Amino acid sequence: MRIGIPKETTAGERRVALVPESGKKLIQAGYEVSIEAGAGAAAGFADAAYHDAGVTLESDPGAVHATDLVLKVNAPEQHEIAGMRPGCIYLGSLMPLRNLEAVRALATRGVTAFSTDAIPRTTRAQSMDTLSSMANIAGYKGALLAAAELGKYFPMLMTAAGMVPPARVFVIGAAVAGLQAIATARRLGANVFATDVRPEVKEQIESVGAKYVGIELKDTASAGGGYAKELTEADRARQRELLAAQCAQSDVVITTALIGGVFAPQLISADMVKGMRPGAVIVDLAADGGGNCELSRPGDTVVEHGITILAPLNLAATMPAHASLLFSRNLTAFVQAFTQDKAFRVDFTDDIQQGAAITHGGEVKHARTRDALQKVAT
């Protein structure tokens, strides 16, 4: 069975779906592996390293798209889908609810598409979860961006000129990105506070060094699998009061909140920004999902009411070497888990494949994506 890895074509993307060490493992498992020449260069993986691992280098992008199993970081573009063989398999972070046209085209083409960001969050699937791997990087880099932008030290310092108090950092959302942002800000010496609509994460917040602040919810906000769902109007009103008070006291606010791991609820209003300390910084790590701050401009940095608001997109691509390494290991774990007789076996009785399957046999199998496509069509 042939596996192909094309060069990513999304603007600003520097990651590659397979690194040489993973290519070697898949070859040992019985696969033929080919990669488009130069695909790993932006992440620091030279063609020579792939050649040494036994991976075939292809100068023609069409040659890797026409394989049995295509591994990608991002959703494929229309011209890439057109080059895929009907009946082949796509594996990558499709983000189907954000890329409905790609899903439609994959189904029409007869491609079996698995999206790693739809993998169920179970112990068995942890090694395949690209969403968590990339969120970990985003949380780390987000805290560094905040520290670099803030006109103050993060840590408390004792100097001959007197004491410098520590910065106060407030993190909204305590999934993978939020917890890593907390841990990184703490390592830098900041005084960190954090909140989440899922009260069960209080212990996790405290375990990485932050102080938990929250409200008592009338209804649970947990959607299962580590995801949050939308709050009731009554709970939203109480949450706004909490957020306004915490933002007003903070030097840095880092937001990471997503509904169902996909779309960003608007949590920080323009009035909340206006009430923050002069020179404060907001890092909106939910910008890929639309942003948690009303004044965020996804992909840009703006200054409003004296507050610097960063809304970076695709932060994982800014650390392409380790991002590619982790992403590649996730995809390789997925392929290896379902390899039989030197080939990938589709098995929808398996809970992981069932959860991650987006298209198969000309149809959209993923219920939420199918519903979203029907709404667009009406």
Amino acid at 273: V
Q: If pLDDT is split at 50, 70 and 90, which confidence band does 234 have?
A: confident
- Give pLDDT, residue 51: 98
Q: What percent of the chain has pLDDT over 90?
A: 89
Q: If pLDDT is split at 50, 70 and 90, which confidence band does 296 have?
A: very high
Question: Which is higher by pLDDT, 218 or 285?
Answer: 285
Residue 281 to residue 150: CA distance in whole angstroms? 6
- Give pLDDT, residue 344: 97
Q: Find the range with the poorest average confidence among 50-64, 126-140, 192-206.
A: 192-206
Q: If pLDDT is split at 50, 70 and 90, which confidence band does 228 have?
A: low
**Looking at 121, 238, 240, 368, which residue is catalytic?**
121
**Looking at 227, 269, 277, 350, which residue is catalytic?**
227
Residue 213 to residue 196: CA distance in whole angstroms? 8
Q: Could you write out the DSSP letters of every residue in 124-192?
A: TTGGG-HHHHHHHHHHHHHHHHHHHHSSS-SS-EEETTEEEPPPEEEEE--SHHHHHHHHHHHHTT-EE
Q: Find the range with the poorest average confidence among 181-195, 223-237, 294-308.
A: 223-237
Burial class, 349, CB count within 10 angstroms (exposed 0-12 / middle 13-18 / buried 19+):
exposed
Domains, the chain, ranges and CATH? Answer: 2-129+320-377 (3.40.50.720), 136-313 (3.40.50.720)
Q: What is the mean pLDDT of residues 37-51?
A: 98
- The pLDDT of residue 230 is above 80: no
- Give pLDDT, residue 197: 86
- The pLDDT of residue 218 is above 80: no
- The pLDDT of residue 202 is above 70: yes
**Looking at 34, 132, 239, 250, which residue is catalytic?**
132
- Tabulate helix, strand, coil % of the chain (nearest 5): 40, 20, 40
**Looking at 28, 78, 126, 249, which residue is catalytic?**
126
Location of structure tokens 């069960």: 200
Burial class, 100, CB count within 10 angstroms (exposed 0-12 / middle 13-18 / buried 19+):
middle
- Give pLDDT, residue 39: 98
Q: What is the mean pLDDT of residues 322-338?
A: 98
Q: If pLDDT is split at 50, 70 and 90, which confidence band does 220 have?
A: low
**Contact, 172 vs 243, CB < 8 A?**
yes
Q: If pLDDT is split at 50, 70 and 90, which confidence band does 189 have?
A: very high
132 labelled catalytic: yes
Tokens representing residue 301 in the block: 């940095």
**Which tens digits make up the pLDDT trace of 83-127?**
999 999 999 999 999 999 999 999 999 999 999 999 998 999 999
Residue 125 to residue 121: CA distance in whole angstroms? 6
52 labelled catalytic: no
- The pLDDT of residue 287 is above 70: yes
- The pLDDT of residue 215 is above 90: no
129 labelled catalytic: yes
**Looking at 15, 31, 34, 129, which residue is catalytic?**
129
- The pLDDT of residue 223 is above 50: no
- The pLDDT of residue 378 is above 80: no
**Which tens digits make up the pLDDT trace of 334-359?**
999 999 999 999 999 999 999 999 99
